[in-house]
Each structure stands twice: as structure tokens, then as C-alpha cells.
Amino acid sequence: MQLLAQVSSETDLYVAQNIFFAVIAGTMIYAAFRVVTTANVVHAALWLVVVLAGVAVQFLFLGAEFVAVTQVLVYIGAVIVLFLFGVMLTRASMGDDETVAGEKRAMAAIVGVLLFAVMAVALVDSFEDTRVDIDGPQGVVEVSDAIFSQYIVPFEAVSVLLLAALIGAIVVARKD
Amino acid sequence: MSDFLRSYLTVGIFGLIGVALVGVFLGLGKILRPNKPTLAKTEAYESGVEPTGDMWSQANIRYYVFALLFVMFDVEAVFIFPWATRLEAYGTFGLIEMAIFIFILLLGLLYAWRKGVLKWA
């Protein structure tokens, strides 16, 4: 009886999980659509935040906690900041841009559909109906233990890579 | 898997309550407040000074260096975050490893400082 209750509660969770997945996926599709249809480039960047936050939640559903945190920190935190700075630094109007229309829009739609087709075919072709087994959630603790035991040297090497990127960015940005 | 997601249910509920609170209060305000716009009321408030020019102006390129510095140290934070969850287990070893990591990145900040990009001249 207890086992049965446990099984049914597990199934309930999977149902809830699927519902949440659908809701978040729908929100992401809507937000992604708004990113490319809104005429205001700042609004596009803010809609992109919604898409990226949705990606973070989907990572959580896959049990990839560290990837979800990285998604929030790096993409929502840093990449969007770079986007907004890029917009602020350009001379173009921050308001609605009505010039994005007509043939450009058609070309963009064609490129988008082609890109989607290529990626969809590649994914379906390489995985088909293989079931990817996830043995439990990969929490931050597991990732941390891996970094600070097996991958300690790559971890320190990353700091050198980041240092090189930092100095490179300063050298490029100083030429103003 | 399920316990993991259940623990995140709390986060989700908190998030929903946060969004709902903002929505309820903004909606309540919209219902309750009188709406009589005049030209003076709709103007942007800028320290009592009358606003001039367009709402958009090109930002100084100098800000970009700060954005880049932020991105670098944001990526650094990605590595500090898992370390912080297990700091007690690693003890001195973890402290030294992280000190090396942060020291190497501080060299970059030192470089930026020496090159004068942090100075607002």
C-alpha cells in the first residue's frame, strides 16, 4: 500500500513536471517570437531574458543544477548586460525602428527556418529515439567535488584563460 | 530526481508569489487611482530641472570596459559559487586553490588599474 502511494506520488510529480515543462516551453516560444518581432531593440533584449530564464528552468528539469545557475549568472547576468551596453553605445535610435521590415524580414524568416531545419534534422538523425538516461540530478555539490578533485588543474588553467580574455578585452577597448 | 525537483518547487512558489504581488499591487493601483493626465504630469522628472533633448543619448564608450570587467568577474563567480557550497569539506586545500584562482584574475584587475582604464578622467 505504501509502495503504491509512493508510485502514484512519483507519477503525479512526473505529470506536474510535464505540465510545468509545457507552460515554460510555451512561454519561451512566445518570448522568442517577441524577441524577433518587437520593433524596439531594448524590448528585444528584455524578452531574451525571459527566453534565457526559461532555458535555466528547463536545465533544472533535467537535474543540471550547476548549468542552470551558470545560465542565470552568465547569460542573464553578463550577456544581456553586454547586449544592452552594445545598444547604449550605438548611435542608432533606441526607440521603435520601423525600417526593419519587408524583404529583410522575409530573408530573416527564411534563414531562421533553414537553421531550424538543419538543427532539427541533425538532432533527430544523431539521436533518433534513444532514451538518454539521467542517473539522478547533478547538483552543484557533485560538480564542485569533480572540479576540486579530478579537474583541479583545468580549473586553475581556466583562470589563466580568463586573465588572457580580460587583458585582451582591455587592450581592444582602450583604442577609443 | 523527484526530491531535487520538490526542493525547487519552493523556489518556484516564491517566484510566482513575487510576480503575483507585483501584478496585484500594480493592478490595484491602476483600479484605485484617478487618471487625469496633464502635460506637466506626463513629463519626465529629472531633479526638478526641465528635461531637454531626446530620451535617448549615446553612452560614453568608457562604460564598455566596466561591462567587460563585470563579465569576467561574473564568470569567476560561476566557479566560486560551487566552491562555496563545499568550502567546509575542502578546508585549507580549497582555500588555497581558490586563492590561486582569484589571485591570477586579480592580476587582470591590476593590469586594468595600471593601464588607467578604471580612472574617470
Per-residue pLDDT reduced to its tens digit, A17-74: 888 899 999 999 999 999 888 888 888 899 999 999 999 999 988 888 899 999 999 9
φ, ψ at B7 (rounded to 5°) = -65, -30
| Chain B residues close to A156, C-beta within 8 Å | 97, 100-101, 104
With cut-offs at 50, 70 and 90, classify the pLDDT of residue A92: low
Write out pLDDT tens, residues B60-104: 777 778 888 888 888 888 989 889 988 888 889 889 989 999 999
CA distance A101 to A88: 22
Q: Give the per-residue pLDDT at A166.
A: 87
Q: Residue A122 domain-assigned?
A: no
**Which of A14, A148, A155 should be substituted to probe chain B, the one whose Cβ sees the most B Cβ atoms within 10 Å?**
A148
Q: Give the per-residue pLDDT at B17.
A: 96
| Closest approach of A159 to chain B, Cα-based (Å) | 6
Q: Which domain holds residue A31?
A: 2-100
Closest chain A residue by Cα to residue B113: A170
Asked if residue A71 and residue A11 are part of one domain, the reply reads: yes
Closest chain A residue by Cα to residue B110: A167
Q: Residue A171 domain-assigned?
A: yes
Considering CB atoms only, which of A88, A137, A158 is closest to B59? A88
Write out pLDDT tens, residues B43-55: 777 787 877 777 6
Asked if residue A147 and residue A64 are part of one domain, the reply reads: no
Q: Residue A155 domain-assigned?
A: yes
Q: Do A28 and A62 touch, CB atoms closer than 8 A?
A: no
Write out pLDDT tens, residues A96-128: 665 655 667 788 889 999 999 999 999 999 888
CATH of B2-114, one of 1.10.10.10, 3.30.360.10, 3.30.70.1290, 1.20.58.1610: 1.20.58.1610
Q: Residue A117 domain-assigned?
A: no
Closest chain B residue by Cα to residue A152: B97
**Global pTM?**
0.78
Q: Residue A134 domain-assigned?
A: no
Q: Give the per-residue pLDDT at A100.
A: 57
- Nine cell digits for residue B58: 549615446
Angle, to 10 degrees, between the axis of helix B92-114 and the axis of helix A152-174?
A: 10
Q: Residue A115 domain-assigned?
A: no
Asked if residue A144 and residue A85 are part of one domain, the reply reads: no
Report CB contact under 8 Å: B4, A140.
no
> Which of A69-78, A129-138, B107-116 has the least mean pLDDT?
A129-138
Question: Could you state, in order of their start, the residue ranges of all structural domains in chain B?
Answer: 2-114
Closest chain A residue by Cα to residue B94: A148
Q: Which of A43, A78, A100 is the last residue of a domain?
A: A100
Q: Residue A176 domain-assigned?
A: yes
Spell out the residues 6+ positions from residue B58 whose beta carbon is closer than 8 angstroms to its own: A88, A89, A90, A91
CATH of the domain at A62: 1.20.120.1200
Cβ-Cβ pairs closer than 8 A, A with B, add up to: 140
Q: Residue A37 domain-assigned?
A: yes
Q: Please give the tally of structural domains in chain A.
A: 2
Asked if residue A162 and residue A96 are part of one domain, the reply reads: no
Asked if residue A151 and residue A86 are part of one domain, the reply reads: no
| Chain A residues close to B12, C-beta within 8 Å | 20
ipTM for this prediction: 0.75
